[in-house]
Amino acid sequence: MENICRLRRIFSTVYRLERDIKKKFGITANEIMVLCLLNAIKLSAGELSKEMGISESRMSKIIDSLEKKGYILREINKDDKRKMIFSITDKGKEKVREFAESDIEVPDIDIEKISNLIC
């Protein structure tokens, strides 16, 4: 029972963090993670979804949202014209800078301990 209570506190902490990010920056935690990834390198939707461990359909919604907000651009992959790759815009880079310089406190969570709670 104690493990369930600890797990619930972790979920509550993550939920509050996501809510605070959305309120302060106007984008979701998943959107800021995509921007952080694209700040380093251009990636395809499939590569983004693998990096973040989410479904391609969920990633598609995140990409659409970021495109509408002007944070990323869709480009044709020069190596394979059938594929699209995504890059960050100057506006997106500014959002990453804004997040990095913010006072949002991200709790240090021991993933191994969480795994032990679940298993």
pLDDT at 11: 82
Q: Rg of the chain over CA atoms, in angstroms?
A: 16
Q: What is the CATH number of domain 2-118?
A: 1.10.10.10
> Tens digits of per-residue pLDDT, 9-24?
888 888 888 999 999 9
pLDDT at 105: 74
Which one-letter amino acid corresponds to residue 44?
Answer: S
Show me where the domains of the chain are located. 2-118
pLDDT at 111: 59
**Residue 75: partners with Cβ closer than 8 Å, 6 or more residues away:** 42, 84, 85, 86, 87
